[in-house]
A and B are shown apart, each in its own frame.
Chain A
Amino acid sequence: MPLAGARRLSQPGRCIDRVLDARSKPAMTDVRPAIQTIETGGGVLKLAPELPLRLESGGRLIGVEVSYKTYGRLNEDRSNAILICHALTGDQHVASPHPQSGKPGWWTQVVGPGRPIDLNRYFVICANVLGGCMGSTGPSSHDPVTGRVYGLNFPVITIGDMVRAQAELLSALGIETLFAVVGGSMGGMQVLQWASDYPERMFSAVCIASAARHSAQNIAFHEVGRQAIMADPEWRGGDYLRLAVRPEKGLAVARMAAHITYLSEPALQRKFGRELQRDGLSWGFDADFQVESYLRHQGSSFVDRFDANAYLYITRAMDYFDLALRHGGVLARAFARAREVRFCVLSFTSDWLYPTTESRHVVRALNAAGARTSFLEIESDRGHDAFLLDEPVMHGALQGFMDSAADARGLRP
């Protein structure tokens, strides 16, 4: 995979990773290897200082870095590239182990050899979003002008800014047109932004459990999370990194509150009910119930891998997201140039964070714009997080959509 424009990449490192091929199940008679070798790569795009990133707020960011991973092989026509956009607390490690936690990639159910996003057929790129904390420029990065950590001096960024940074990365990789842009939740917002800003650079789009604008309820939950972080004395007005402390308690509470919104009442009930951690009540405020212990664990493991200020900035970007706003409040106009893009929009019945009504709103606008649109509401009681889980109907729909789009694009199976 020769990379044009690779001179702008600081470390276009490539390696051969062993990606688990979950199709292969161990069996007595089965001699196929359970591990399949998939070429992976990645690195950090450094935008030259004379090429600042324009921001929607009117500001500019100098020396932006975008950290990314790639999976599979780019074909000769450069026509099989898929950009995967990650969610709020996701990262670029979509199909390979997380470097810190060692956990498998966050979407190995969907991305892998023989999976709906088949790494034997497609070349996948996933980049850490602008404002993030996994190698791309964000509030924990150093301001090249002052040499100090940005902290709250980092400008407020938007979903549109994240997408512009991704577009710069793809240009640097020499990929003019994407076969698909795919994402769930905040990733889905980026997909819609792509369709609005760069429709001519994409053949198809998959938007899962997402919305074209953030609802009042979603803004409200994000505000709870941000207030929890800012109420932590160790946050120090956002200056904690310079003072070598961390607002871990605040960030953990933010994660705990958010995590509830990713699930559903039946899912929580099924998983935990009123089960206790040990025999009898403590008659105090220890984690008596299993659900409490689970949430505490979610909070404390989150702070190991996420930056509090990044959480503030990314949630803000999601709150500011309203794709129709720049188009006179008419969402269909945001997709006016996306008539030729094939869309697949998916939602889940029990997702109360990004309910089906939000997806239908998107679908109606896509239809009004005349785009080829497929829409499916998937029956699941696992809430918003269903898109990250083993959901056979979603996988079947994705498989069908991706396969037929790839055939239409003339990609070799």
Chain B
Amino acid sequence: MIREDFREIARLVRPGARVLDVGCGEGELLDLLRREKDVDARGLEISSDGVGACLARGLSVMQGDADSDLGEFPSEAFDYAILSQTLQAVRQPRKVLSDLMRLAERAIVSFPNFGHWRVRASLLAHGRMPLTRALPQPWWATINIHLCTLRDFTELCADLDLRIEAAVALSERTAPREIDPTRALDNLRTETALLLLSRTHHVAPAAPAAAGLFD
């Protein structure tokens, strides 16, 4: 069975594109994109088990950390960089997001929306960190260290001069639907957000993260 968010990501990706999946796990998404969209699939994955599984699928995957190793890829090497359910778990989300936009023309980012009504209701009713379908683990066990709301994220995008080309709300129970991420009501109703981002400007030729790339 293919995850719903993978289906949505596959829908957004242009056939034949060069794709980097950051935090690609065992390579299910890359495999799907390669099969259905004939993409040039590359991945970055932190766990050696994950990289091993990707190698067995014939994928080109590097072991590495989104926080520290995105600098190993040259600027504008990809058409799409995908960050699926990972942004909230990195140490420096702002830096990771700008790294993604340096090495790819577009980024596809998904994350659990902390502005979802269930999260708000849970916090309001119990006064404790919410436990929901999208955030199932207690605060002391979760890998999520930088949770944000849809509104927070759109503000960061504006700050980084990124254009939101498409936005979709995902939920386990209902079909994906298009949303307007700047609307307060969509911030309330979106459990998991999936956004397609692009640069409004060209990458500066001497992007700091690219320095030393050819040394």
Q: Do A and B bind each other?
A: yes
Interface mask (B55-76 → A, CB under 8 Å = 1, otherwise 0): 1111111111000000011100
- Residues of chain A from 158 to 174 with CB closer than 8 A to chain B in the complex: none
Q: Write the nearest CB–CB distance from A398 to chain B, whole angstroms.
A: 8
Interface size on A, residues (CB 8 A): 33
Q: Does A364 belong to the interface (CB within 8 Å)?
A: yes
* B140: interface (CB < 8 Å): no
Cβ of B58 and Cβ of A408 under 8 Å apart?
yes
Of the candidate stretches A177-185, A243-251, A372-380, the one touching chain B is A372-380
Are B55 and A404 neighbours in the complex by a CB distance under 8 Å? yes
Is the Cβ of B213 less than 8 Å from the Cβ of A368? yes
* Any B CB within 8 A of the CB of A266: no
Taking the nearest CB of chain B, how far is it from the CB of A365, in angstroms? Answer: 8
Number of A-B residue pairs, CB cutoff 8 Å, is 74
B147-180: which residues lie under 8 A (CB-CB) from chain A?
A: none
Q: How far is the CA of A393 from the CA of B215 in the complex (A)?
A: 30
B residues in contact with A8, CB < 8 Å: none
A400 at the A/B interface (Cβ < 8 Å)? yes
Q: Are the CB atoms of A368 and B74 closer together than 8 Å?
A: yes
**Would you call A152 an interface residue if the criterion is a C-beta within 8 Å of the partner chain's C-beta atoms?**
no
Map CB proximity to B onto A338-352 as digits: 1 under 8 Å, 0 otherwise.
000010100000000
Out of B48, B52, B63, B77, which one reaches A400, CB within 8 Å?
Answer: B52
Residues of A within 8 A of B51 (CB): 374-376, 397
Any chain A CB within 8 A of the CB of B82? no
Give the nearest-CB partner of A324 in chain B: B215
Indicate whether A407 sits within 8 Å of B214 (C-beta atoms), given known contacts A376-B52, A393-B48, A393-B52.
no
* B residues in contact with A332, CB < 8 Å: 213-214
Question: What's the Cα separation between A368 and B212 when bound, in Å?
Answer: 11
Q: Looking across the interface, which residue of chain B has its beta carbon closest to that of A344?
A: B55
Which residues of chain B have C-beta atoms less than 8 A from A367's C-beta?
Answer: 62, 72-74, 77
Given contacts A367-B72, A367-B77, A379-B48, contact A374 B62 (CB under 8 A): yes
Contact status B214-A376, CB under 8 Å: no
A330 on the B face (CB < 8 A): yes
Distance from B68 Cβ to chain A, minimum over Cβ atoms (Å): 10
If A370-B77, A397-B55, A408-B58 touch, does A363 touch B72 (CB 8 Å cutoff)? Answer: yes
Q: Is A39 an interface residue when CB atoms closer than 8 A count as contact?
A: no
Task: Answer whether residue B97 sits at the interface, using C-beta atoms and an 8 A cutoff.
Answer: no
Question: Residue among B54, B58, B61, B77 with the most chain A CB within 10 A?
Answer: B58
Set of chain B residues within 8 Å of A377, measured between Cβ atoms: 48, 63
Q: Using an 8 Å CB-CB cutoff, how does the interface string of B180-197 with A read, 1 for contact, 0 for none? A: 000000000000000000
State which of B58, B59, B60, B64 has its C-beta within 8 Å of the C-beta of A407: B58
Please, which residues of chain A bring their CB within 8 A of the CB of B62? 363, 367, 373-375
A405: Cβ under 8 A from any B Cβ: yes
**Minimum CB distance partner of A407 in chain B:** B58
A240: Cβ under 8 A from any B Cβ: no
Complexed CA–CA distance, A370 and B75 (Å): 11
CB-based contact B60/A342 at 8 Å = yes
Tell whether A375 pairs with B52 under 8 Å between CB atoms, given A330-B214, A367-B77, A400-B57: no
Give residues in A with beta carbon < 8 Å to B: 329-333, 342, 344, 360, 363-365, 367-368, 370, 372-379, 393, 396-397, 399-401, 403-405, 407-408
A-B pairs with beta carbons under 8 Å apart, 18 shown: A332-B213, A363-B62, A368-B213, A374-B54, A374-B55, A374-B60, A375-B64, A376-B52, A376-B55, A377-B48, A378-B48, A379-B48, A393-B52, A397-B55, A400-B52, A400-B55, A400-B57, A401-B55
